[in-house]
A and B are shown apart, each in its own frame.
Chain A
Amino acid sequence: MIGVIQFPGSCDERDAVAAVERVGEGRLVWHEETDLSGLDGVVVPGGFSYGDYLRAGAIARFSPAMEAVARFAAEGGPVLGICNGFQVLCEAGLLPGALLPNEGLRFICRQVQLVAEDFTGPFGGSIESGQRLSIPVKHMSGRYFAPDEDLDQLESEGRIAFRYAPGENPNGSVRDIAGVINEAGNVIGLMPHPEHAVDPLTGSDDGLVLFRALAGAQQAATA
């Protein structure tokens, strides 16, 4: 069972549950829930948690459910953060770096091409290095940033999960970074929305690979 956190102001939580249900079972997790036992993985979905009027993700990181997610991640549970979820995971310190307002200072909704990097851990195992994925972005603050020395370290440790393909960087992200993983490899965050790329009719089904990875991550970790 995969849990999808629902904050007030979440937008993509139902779409994330529907995407999960294409590869397994999923349910919503209310933002006040603190017991995540019984879950095999967690999605922190997109949207504007608590309105995001202060700074994207800045309030959601203090929610009871996020404290539970931090414990879940510390115990090795697989966590996928998408867009606002990525912002929340960065704010919570579960992932390195920060997401700044887009270079153009405007919201951008666009199908973009991603390239998977060579990364390890439960997510990396099922995504081939160099694989190209067509997945939409839609965000106001998606410009990935971290200091150069941190980026060098992330790169040397194989912790860049996705980059925007050459010429596709929509927001000015440093080194074209679209997604990163944590040190243990069980927490991944990305700005593009794989839950909106699970059906060719709506544009692409390239995002399914992430949900398959999430559903299979627990087995991969315990194998």
Chain B
Amino acid sequence: MSAGVSESPSAPGREAEEAPSTWVELGLTDHEYERIVELLGRDPNGVELAMFSLLWSEHCAYKHSRKLLGRLPTEGERVVMGPGENAGAVDIGNGHAVAFKVESHNHPSAVEPFQGAATGVGGILRDVFAIGARPIAVLDSLRFGEPTSERSRYLFEGAVAGIGHYGNSIGVPTVGGEVYFEPSYEHNCLVNAMCVGLAKTDAMIRSAAAGPGNLLVIMGASTGRDGIGGASVLASAELEAGDDSKRPSVQIGDPFEESKVLECCLELLDRDLLVSLQDLGAAGLTSSAGEMASKGGVGLDIDVRKVPLREEDMEPFEVMVSESQERMLAVVEPSRLDEVVETCERWQTGSAAIGEITDTGHLRVLDDGVEVGDVPVSALVDECPLYDLEPEEPGGWMYGNADTLGEQVALSAGRSADPSDPSHILCALLGAPNIASKRWAFEQYDSVVGSRTARRPESADAAVLMIPESDRAIAVAIDGNGRRVACDPYAGAIEAVLECAQNLACVGAEPLGLTNCLNFGNPEKPNVAWQLDRAVLGLADACLALKVPVVGGNVSLYNETEHGPIYPTPVVGLVGELPDAAAVPGLAPNDGDRLVLVGPFAPSLAGSELAKQRGELDSGLPQVPLNEVDAALRLVRELVRSGAVSAAHDVSDGGLACALAEMAIASGIGMDVDLDALVELRGGSGETNLFGEGPGGIVLAAPDPKELLERAESAGVEAVQLGSAGGDRISIAAAERDVSVALADAGRAWRSLDQRI
């Protein structure tokens, strides 16, 4: 788990006349405190209470989400590691596995975007190399308020720079990602980072501690008071509340230290010197040691005086909960300790034996040999009360609406432009922050280090990485349009999975495994509970239909402020495999190519970017024909792999018109398209067919559409001929709502985001 001190619930309110109890200030309820007393058979002391308060937080215990997460399918024949380990992993043949996980760092990023985002990347990298995989790619999923807000621009700029700083410095390429700007994230931005790693399957390592008498070794950076978060209440109590006790709770990242620890850990694993390995993230030593002991069914004695410190006079509880970055915890056989220490010294990184595995089943905290805390591991890790949600469907659209289309049209098509003219609407949508090119952001990321990146950002729908070790390639995508989930949490969550699956199909990749990060508001509020409940159900149904196992993930709740909750935002990361990176088409059709729309895509303006711009958002999305979409994706995958298509792009934000325009911009070649056949097939207005959104639509380009159409017919997948690539204008006829835009104007609008940052 990555750090995220403030991802835990804020302390519940208390009667004004009564001084709040220490445990309430630490975020525990009276009921939870009573449970702790019952489990221990006595009152916990300060050290113990600090440990419980963090491990029983939502962020560590998943107490409002664990019951729901049980619905997600986790089994699959390619699964090597599933949920519960530091990261999930799937087999990709030839003795290799791909490990991956996505995680949030939302609240730290809202406080200090650069370090919040940087340490988010650092945390997810550690999760991946903790199982013995070398990180080979990072993707990120970002959500901010509208860029018209100065604060949103500041957060966006800081988060992008922070992600770049960490990833670039450590030499792991950032190969993809996505950004949405919506008012609901104005006061609570989202920064989710996903890491993908490559491991030899037989060299992977789990985190379960084992072998009483074995040593617990902390490696990497020293431990300071940074990121003590909720436990600073205890610091105030014990240190007699001074300003210096209110330490900043956002951690500071040091990618150079992480780079050394990473290389050191991979060498230690390669030489088979470790019994188990775990990173230190949220709740620091307490969480890592507790989880290792719990999984191994053993006890642990930790002497905090042996932990290398960067500050003097740290209290034992501070050492136990510090969230200092770039630290790892390993179990080592005593006879191997010298070799481990020597290796760490050679990599110029720290190491110290701080404790021992026991058979007591207790986590004992010692201070220079004197016991200062003693709790049963099971009480700490497994006995946190789990809560049932009390879902209640909201009566209608919970979020605001604002008509910004006129403004957007004026920005993209000039002051005299007409917001009802479809040509001007197309330019406005291409220039809308959610749809416009994110080149400004991704050029700040090293996307090429590692020599695997066969498709860089915006050159195809999914990033493609070569894996010569197993003689194939993998494709990775991350997505999750919160606005559509807000309209309909069930259908919207299905769409998030399908969007990723469509991106993978466009590069010919078959999904192997999924990771997700559930970013929601306060689950104790019935309407948010309903969003969470419905969205998890949607994720589960989509994964079952596509036969994709969920191998890991993360939950970030309480993303709300006095201005209300964020859009419910399940971010989905999908990893797939393909036989040959050389056969992957990009987004750009060749001159004269025919364009064909494949799949059951039924355009609707509900929840669309156009509906947002017009201030017409409302609850409800059309139902998703899951099985038909699945069939279409299989067909697209086969067509792409066979080399029959020269370009592929899925229909997403801004509908078919924007998808076609993006292909034209990528190729520098215009197109002549007639949507009347689609209008006839699907019904709806010309405008709905131009700008309506929905899952299950992929535009393919090929010199001769005959093979495409025949294979679609025999697969029972709908295919509609749209037109052909050529000329220097984007011309789309759609039931009298005709679009005609010069390619140069469309390109200018699409590339306009950097002028707004």
Q: Which residues of A contact B (CB under 8 A)?
A: 8-12, 14-15, 18-19, 46-48, 50-53, 106-110, 136, 138, 140, 193, 195-196, 198-199, 201-203
**A5 CB, nearest partner CB in chain B, Å:** 15
Can you name 19 A-B residue pairings with CB atoms under 8 Å?
A8-B256, A8-B259, A9-B256, A10-B171, A11-B259, A11-B449, A12-B171, A48-B168, A48-B255, A48-B256, A51-B169, A52-B256, A107-B445, A198-B451, A201-B582, A202-B453, A202-B454, A203-B448, A203-B456
List CB contacts (< 8 Å) of B470-527 with chain A: none
- CB contacts (< 8 Å) of A108 on chain B: these are 443-444
CB-based contact A109/B256 at 8 Å: no
CB-based contact A138/B451 at 8 Å: no
- CB contacts (< 8 Å) of B446 on chain A: these are 11, 107, 109, 138
CB-based contact A8/B348 at 8 Å: yes
**Binary contact readout B570-590 vs A (1 if CB under 8 angstroms, 0 otherwise):** 000000000001100000000
**Complex: how many Å from CA A197 to CA B256?**
26
List CB contacts (< 8 Å) of B203-230 with chain A: none
**Complex: how many Å from CA A109 to CA B466?**
19
**A172 CB, nearest partner CB in chain B, Å:** 15
Chain A contact residues: helix, strand, loop or mixed: mixed
State the 10 A-B residue pairs at the shortest beta-carbon distance, nearest first: A11-B171, A51-B256, A48-B169, A138-B446, A15-B451, A196-B448, A107-B444, A107-B164, A201-B454, A9-B256
- CB contacts (< 8 Å) of A12 on chain B: these are 171, 449
- CB contacts (< 8 Å) of B347 on chain A: these are 8
User: Beyond A8-B347, A51-B169, A51-B256: 6 further Cβ-contacts under 8 Å?
Assistant: A19-B451, A107-B168, A109-B445, A109-B446, A138-B168, A196-B448
CB-based contact B451/A202 at 8 Å: yes
- CB contacts (< 8 Å) of A15 on chain B: these are 449-451
Whether a CB of chain A sits under 8 angstroms from the CB of B458 is no
**B350 CB, nearest partner CB in chain A, Å:** 13
**Complex: how many Å from CA A110 to CA B256?**
24
Which partner residue on chain B sits nearest A19 by CB separation?
A: B451
Whether a CB of chain A sits under 8 angstroms from the CB of B170 is yes
**Complex: how many Å from CA A107 to CA B445?**
7
**Complex: how many Å from CA A138 to CA B450?**
13
**A108 CB, nearest partner CB in chain B, Å:** 6
Which partner residue on chain A sits nearest B264 by CB separation?
A: A8
Q: Max chain A CB contacts within 10 Å: which of B348, B451, B466?
A: B451
**Complex: how many Å from CA A52 to CA B449?**
18
- CB contacts (< 8 Å) of B267 on chain A: these are none
**B173 CB, nearest partner CB in chain A, Å:** 9
A-B pair number, CB within 8 angstroms: 87
- CB contacts (< 8 Å) of B260 on chain A: these are 8-9
Which partner residue on chain A sits nearest B256 by CB separation?
A: A51
CB-based contact B451/A199 at 8 Å: yes
- CB contacts (< 8 Å) of B445 on chain A: these are 107, 109
Whether a CB of chain A sits under 8 angstroms from the CB of B109 is no
Whether a CB of chain A sits under 8 angstroms from the CB of B447 is yes
- CB contacts (< 8 Å) of A198 on chain B: these are 451
**Complex: how many Å from CA A203 to CA B412?**
32
**B113 CB, nearest partner CB in chain A, Å:** 15
User: Number of contacting residues on B, CB 8 A?
Assistant: 33
CB-based contact A109/B444 at 8 Å: yes
**Complex: how many Å from CA A47 to CA B448?**
12
Whether a CB of chain A sits under 8 angstroms from the CB of B146 is no
**B353 CB, nearest partner CB in chain A, Å:** 23
- CB contacts (< 8 Å) of A199 on chain B: these are 451
- CB contacts (< 8 Å) of B165 on chain A: these are 107
**A144 CB, nearest partner CB in chain B, Å:** 20
Whether a CB of chain A sits under 8 angstroms from the CB of B161 is yes
**Binary contact readout B436-462 vs A (1 if CB under 8 angstroms, 0 otherwise):** 000000111111111111101000000
Whether a CB of chain A sits under 8 angstroms from the CB of B254 is yes
CB-based contact B256/A11 at 8 Å: no
- CB contacts (< 8 Å) of B449 on chain A: these are 11-12, 15, 46, 138, 196
CB-based contact A51/B254 at 8 Å: yes
**Binary contact readout B250-267 vs A (1 if CB under 8 angstroms, 0 otherwise):** 000011110110010000
Which partner residue on chain A sits nearest B447 by CB separation?
A: A109
**A8 CB, nearest partner CB in chain B, Å:** 5
Which partner residue on chain B sits nearest A195 by CB separation?
A: B451
**A31 CB, nearest partner CB in chain B, Å:** 10
- CB contacts (< 8 Å) of A50 on chain B: these are 256
**Complex: how many Å from CA A71 to CA B259?**
29
Q: Contacts A8-B347, A11-B170, A108-B443; is A202 near B256 (CB within 8 Å)? A: no
**B157 CB, nearest partner CB in chain A, Å:** 9
**Complex: how many Å from CA A15 to CA B640?**
29
**A87 CB, nearest partner CB in chain B, Å:** 14
Which partner residue on chain B sits nearest A46 by CB separation?
A: B449
**B579 CB, nearest partner CB in chain A, Å:** 14
**Complex: how many Å from CA A172 to CA B118?**
27
Which partner residue on chain A sits nearest B582 by CB separation?
A: A201
**A203 CB, nearest partner CB in chain B, Å:** 7
**B169 CB, nearest partner CB in chain A, Å:** 5
Q: Max chain A CB contacts within 10 Å: which of B446, B466, B582?
A: B446
List CB contacts (< 8 Å) of B566-611 with chain A: 581-582
Q: Contacts A8-B347, A11-B170, A201-B581; is A109 near B448 (CB within 8 Å)? A: yes
**B192 CB, nearest partner CB in chain A, Å:** 21
**Complex: how many Å from CA A47 to CA B263?**
14
**Complex: how many Å from CA A93 to CA B712?**
65
CB-based contact B169/A9 at 8 Å: yes
**A68 CB, nearest partner CB in chain B, Å:** 18
List CB contacts (< 8 Å) of B3-48 with chain A: none
Q: Contacts A9-B259, A201-B581; is A47 near B171 (CB within 8 Å)? A: yes
**Complex: how many Å from CA A76 to CA B171?**
31
- CB contacts (< 8 Å) of B453 on chain A: these are 202
- CB contacts (< 8 Å) of B448 on chain A: these are 109, 136, 138, 193, 196, 202-203
- CB contacts (< 8 Å) of A8 on chain B: these are 256, 259-260, 263, 347-348
CB-based contact B169/A196 at 8 Å: no
- CB contacts (< 8 Å) of A51 on chain B: these are 169, 254-257
